[in-house]
Structures are given as structure tokens and as C-alpha cells.
Amino acid sequence: MNASKVSPARDEACIASPSSEQRFPLASGPMLVLYVAAAKLLLHLLTATRYGIFRDELYYLACSQHLALGYVDQPPAIALVAWIARHLFGDSLLGIRLFPALAGAALVWLTGKLAREMGAGRFGQFLAALAIFTVPFYLLLDHWLTMNAFEPLIWMGCIWCVLRAINSGDARYWFWFGVISGIGFETKYSIAFLLLAVLAGVVLTPERRFLKSRYLWAGVLACAAIALPNFLWQVQHGFPFLELMHNIRMTNRDVLRGPIAFILDQAKNVGPMLFPLWAGGLVWLFISKHGRRYRALGWTYVVVLGFFIALHGKNYYVAPIYPMLLAAGAIGFERLTSQRWGWLRLSYAALVVITGVLLAPLVCPILAPESFLRYEQTLGIQPPEAEHQNNGPLPQYFADEFGWENMVRQVAIVYHALSPEEQARTAIFANGYGEAAAVDFFGPKYGLPRAICKHNTYWIWGPRNYDGSTMIVLGSDGSGDRRHFKTVEAAGRVEDPYSRRDEHFTIWLCRGLKANLQAAWPLIKNFD
């Protein structure tokens, strides 16, 4: 690799000189980025146990007890991460959430590197890292053990390879682009949109020269090889993920946004104070003398945004791409203020911090629920809605952390009121994976067997050896149960003031299923 080709966009006007960094190594750009990354990690660790465990976290932990090459609603990587976390830290909520917290800190660090690679000096690197720290959506995602915490890091790993290939001219980076993309396919299928967008960016710019490289096509093969096991699993099971997505679309559960509203949602998700930064970053990539070198990344964003607008995707599907734009915007702002208006640097950075501090309690469990509700009312700010749900007083992302252990405790009261003989044949049947996964997670503490469930991958795991003679049914209004069982009895009630209202339900004790459960199981599948 020719070192003289690395990061040619840098100039002395906007980057600290080597002698300056040598004199003050602890105040260099990379060190400032590391300080911000460490602060983000500390915030997530301090708030990891503030509320309870999240619905999807429970589900991924359940999947980790059934390691496979795929699942109905996600690739296998998140279940493997959950398996590692649980084997290292047990049921500790802090341990379960350590890996997403580390991913969030790593995203701050990588964004600083992206900015440096595109020519940022010390302030530009610091501003890019600070921006990522304060993005409300990343503060939210990095709180949970879900694939969404790792998705932006994987996307930016791909973008880093593109930048290195552009700056160095070394096509070998495209091979590593393919490797990271393959890992992305095993993490979340949305990586496909990034790959198509990068391809468009390459074709529309001089970077199309890389299409002749054997390393790029070796990267394609590497990506395919890494993604192949999960693809074969989907083939074997009749592409359940596609069935799931079709069913979700047919229920009209997602909030559909027009193009203008969708773009406005981006400003809310990333943070209103950061809108000038990422929008300016997009402009910088297309029209700046230095930024045009990387305009393939500008086209990448435009195509990703266009895909999700055209496909009526959720407003947060674009979230993984913004570190790239925030890094570009930090460079543009740094260059704009390098000769004059230097006072704007401190002023804008202070505004980013102040806004971040004000918004953080809305997306990070810093306040007690009662205090959160008062704070939200005082600010008059609510997050953009992605799904139609009856969330109760709290937004869905917080509501889904409440009520799970209490639910399992109520189920245990019903279960242990049965005779030992009846307990042996009693199935705990949940209509949703959240209820089932909560029983599997908290159940051992209360002497409960694992649940069975018709929802998503739980359906694939089947009814085990139960015949339906006695079932404790969760998440039902009871009307369907009365048609299918000889007797249906209201045996308990689940409620929590802060949980979602669809998690307030009666626990039904049902006896005498009118059909054999094993035979009926294929007919009750619910992928949504």
C-alpha cells in the first residue's frame, strides 16, 4: 500500500500538526474520540438496570437456548451473542447489556476514525464523536441486547472499507467489505439495502474502476459464503422471514409516512440540533472540493433513503447510515470555521451537548417512570411513532421493559394451585413471543416449565409432548379459548401501570382441548 495516498484530503488548515499532537498526545483527535466513547459506555452501564428487561431481549435469550442457523424473524447472530452473554454473566441485566453498550462505544470510536480518514482534524474528530454520543436513537438502541445495537457498527465497518479503498487505491479493502457484509447478513437482513446503495454509489462515480478488481469479486464470494448457512435455513423452512414481512404489511401495523414526513422523522430520530450537521455533511460530499472525492458515500445515503421511502419502511430503518454523514458534516463545519468564525465551534459543540442532555432522559432510562412522565410533559416532545400500539403512559420502548416478572409470578400462582399430577401435563401457552420468553426467563425462579407459543420461531419449536388436556393461556381475551376447550376458567389477572395495555390480560385455565394439540399445531402458526 502506498502510504502517500492515505487521506489526501487532509490539509494543514484544519488538522493539528504532528508536532502539536506529539506535544499534547492526551489531547489529540483520536484521544478525544476515545474519551467520548468511554463516556457513552459509562452512561449505558450506569443505566443498564434502571428499568427491567425488554421484550425482544427476552425473545433473543430464548432463541439462545435453541441455537440454530436461522430464526423466523432474524438471522442467527443475535442469538449467539445472547448465548455468549448469558454463559458469561448469567441472568445479570448488566451482563446481558454489556455487549450492546460496547457496540455503542465502538460506533463512537469508528465514527471518529471515519472523520479522520476523510480529512478531519482534532475538532472535527471530536465533533463527529460527540454527535454520535448524543443521537437519541443510538442512546436508545445501545441500551438493549438487540441486533439494532450492532447494525450501525457493521454498516460503518463497510463504509470504512470503502473509504480506505478510495484513499489508498488498494482494492483489497473490498474483500474485507465483503466479509463484514456477510457478518451483516447474519445480523440483520437490512444490510442488503446498504450493499445496493454502495453499488449505486460506485457505479455513479469514478470508483467504478474497482468493479474490475478481483478483490471486489472475492469479497462478493466471501459475503455469499458467510450468508449461505442462514439462506439455506430459510430455504429449508420455506422462507418464513418473507412470510413474516408479508403478514406484517397486511396487518397495517406499521405507521406509513409520506416522503416529507419520513424525512422530518429523520431529523427527530437523529436529533434536531444535529440536522444541520448531517444535512451539511451530505452537501459536503456532493459539492465540496475535498468532499467530492467521497461522493460515492453521498449517493449511498440518497439511495438508502430512497429505498425506505419507496418501500414504506419504518422511520428508523435509515438510522445506521447517519454516522457517515455526521462525520462528513463535522469535517465541513471544521473547514468552514478554520479561518474565521472560530467562536462557532465552541458554541455549536455546547449546543449539541445541551440538547443531548435535554433529550437523553426521553430515550435513556435515567429518570424514574413518574419523573419521566413529568419531564416528557414539560418538554412537550414525543418520539415519532413507528407502529400502531396501545402503549399506555410510557412510549413503547420503555413500556416493554415493565411487567414481565409480575406476569410470570401470577402464572406461577395458577400453576402451583394445580395438583402435581395435573401440573405434569399442563402446558403454559402464550399467544405472543414476549409472554412465552418471559416465562422461559423468569420461570425457573418460580418453578415453571418452559412455555409453548404459536408466535414466530416459538411455533417452529413446537408443542413438545403436551396434548392440550390442560393449558394455562396467556395473552388472550378468552373468546377463542371457549370455542376450543371444554372448560375455560379465569384464574388470574396481569396488569402493570407502566406496561403496554395489550399486556393487561386475564390468565385463563383451560381444560379439555377439543382437538389433539400435536395435530392442531401446524394450523395455528402466527408469523407477524
pLDDT at 2 over 60: no
pLDDT range class, residue 7, cuts 50, 70, 90: very low
Q: Are residues 433 and 356 in the same domain?
A: no
What is the reported pLDDT for 388? 59
What is the reported pLDDT for 341? 81
pLDDT at 399 over 80: yes
Task: Map residue 430 onto helix, strand or coil.
Answer: strand
pLDDT range class, residue 392, cuts 50, 70, 90: confident
How far is the C-alpha of 171 from the C-alpha of 430, rounded, in Å? 52
pLDDT, tens digit, for every residue of 432-489?
Answer: 999 999 999 999 999 999 999 999 999 999 999 999 999 999 999 888 888 999 999 9
Query: Residue 82: inside a domain, yes or no?
Result: no
- Where does a domain end: 311, 330, 363? 363
Q: Are residues 197 and 314 in the same domain?
A: yes
What is the reported pLDDT for 128? 98
How far is the C-alpha of 431 from the C-alpha of 454, rounded, in Å? 6
pLDDT at 39 over 70: yes
Biggest CA–CA distance in the chain, Å, is 84
Q: Are residues 499 and 422 in the same domain?
A: yes
What is the reported pLDDT for 4? 38
Query: Residue 69: inside a domain, yes or no?
Result: no
Contact at 8 Å (CB) between 139 and 42? Answer: no
pLDDT, tens digit, for every residue of 207-265?
Answer: 999 999 999 999 999 999 999 999 999 999 999 999 999 998 888 777 778 889 999 88
* Host domain of residue 509: 404-523
pLDDT, tens digit, for every residue of 333-344?
Answer: 999 998 888 789
How many folded domains does the chain comprise?
A: 2
How far is the C-alpha of 212 from the C-alpha of 197, rounded, in Å? 18
pLDDT range class, residue 27, cuts 50, 70, 90: confident
How far is the C-alpha of 457 from the C-alpha of 522, rounded, in Å? 13
- Where does a domain end: 308, 341, 363? 363
Query: Residue 368: inside a domain, yes or no?
Result: no
- Where does a domain end: 311, 340, 363? 363
What is the reported pLDDT for 16? 43
Strand order in the sheet with 505-513: 452-453, 426-430, 470-474, 505-513, 485-494
Rg (CA), the chain: 25
Grid cell at residue 152 = 450501525
Query: Residue 60: inside a domain, yes or no?
Result: no
Grid cell at residue 6 = 492515505
Q: Provide, rounded to the nearest whole percent, the portion of the chain with pLDDT above 90.
A: 84
Q: Are residues 181 and 236 in the same domain?
A: yes
pLDDT, tens digit, for every residue of 55-97?
Answer: 999 999 999 999 999 999 999 999 999 999 999 999 999 999 9
Q: Are residues 353 and 430 in the same domain?
A: no
* C-alpha 123, offset from chain centre: 29
Q: Are residues 226 and 161 in the same domain?
A: yes
What per-residue string of b and e applies to 272-308 under the rule 16 or more CB within 10 Å gives b?
Answer: ebbeebbbbbbbbbeebebbebbbbbbbbbbbbbebb
Query: Residue 15: inside a domain, yes or no?
Result: no
How far is the C-alpha of 299 from the C-alpha of 196, rounded, in Å? 11
Give the chain's count of helices (H) and strands (E): 26, 5
Query: Residue 389: inside a domain, yes or no?
Result: no
How far is the C-alpha of 432 from the C-alpha of 476, rounded, in Å? 9
pTM, to two decimals: 0.92
What is the reported pLDDT for 339? 82
For 312, residues 6+ apart whose C-beta sits below 8 A from its C-beta are: 254, 256, 257
Length of the chain counted residue by residue: 528
Residue listed under C-alpha cell 455468549: 84
Helical (H) or strand (E) element with 508: strand 505-513
How far is the C-alpha of 343 from the C-alpha of 349, rounded, in Å? 10
How far is the C-alpha of 143 from the C-alpha of 151, rounded, in Å? 14
Contact at 8 Å (CB) between 52 and 144? Answer: no
| CA 10-14-15 angle, 5° bins | 70
How far is the C-alpha of 206 from the C-alpha of 183, rounded, in Å? 27
How far is the C-alpha of 217 from the C-alpha of 208, rounded, in Å? 13
Q: Are residues 252 and 319 in the same domain?
A: yes
Query: Residue 379: inside a domain, yes or no?
Result: no
pLDDT at 29 over 50: yes
Q: Are residues 350 and 474 in the same domain?
A: no
pLDDT range class, residue 386, cuts 50, 70, 90: low
Task: Map residue 53 onto helix, strand or coil.
Answer: coil
Contact at 8 Å (CB) between 468 and 496? Answer: no
Quick one: average pLDDT of 25-46? 95
Amino acid of residue 297: L
pLDDT range class, residue 12, cuts 50, 70, 90: very low
What is the reported pLDDT for 11? 42
Quick one: average pLDDT of 264-282? 93
Q: State the average pLDDT for the chain.
A: 93
Q: What DSSP character marks residue 488?
A: E
Quick one: average pLDDT of 384-393? 69
Task: Give the residue ranges of DSSP H helices in 90-141.
Answer: 93-96, 98-117, 122-134, 136-141
Query: Residue 369: inside a domain, yes or no?
Result: no
Q: Are residues 459 and 328 in the same domain?
A: no
Q: Are residues 441 and 310 in the same domain?
A: no
How far is the C-alpha of 528 from the C-alpha of 521, rounded, in Å? 17
Q: Are residues 347 and 420 in the same domain?
A: no
Q: Are residues 120 and 251 in the same domain?
A: yes
* C-alpha 419, offset from chain centre: 44
How far is the C-alpha of 47 from the C-alpha of 39, rounded, in Å? 12
> Can you give the three-state secondary structure of 438-481, one letter per residue?
HHHHHHHHHCCCCCEECECHHHHHCCCCCCCCEEEEECCCCHHH
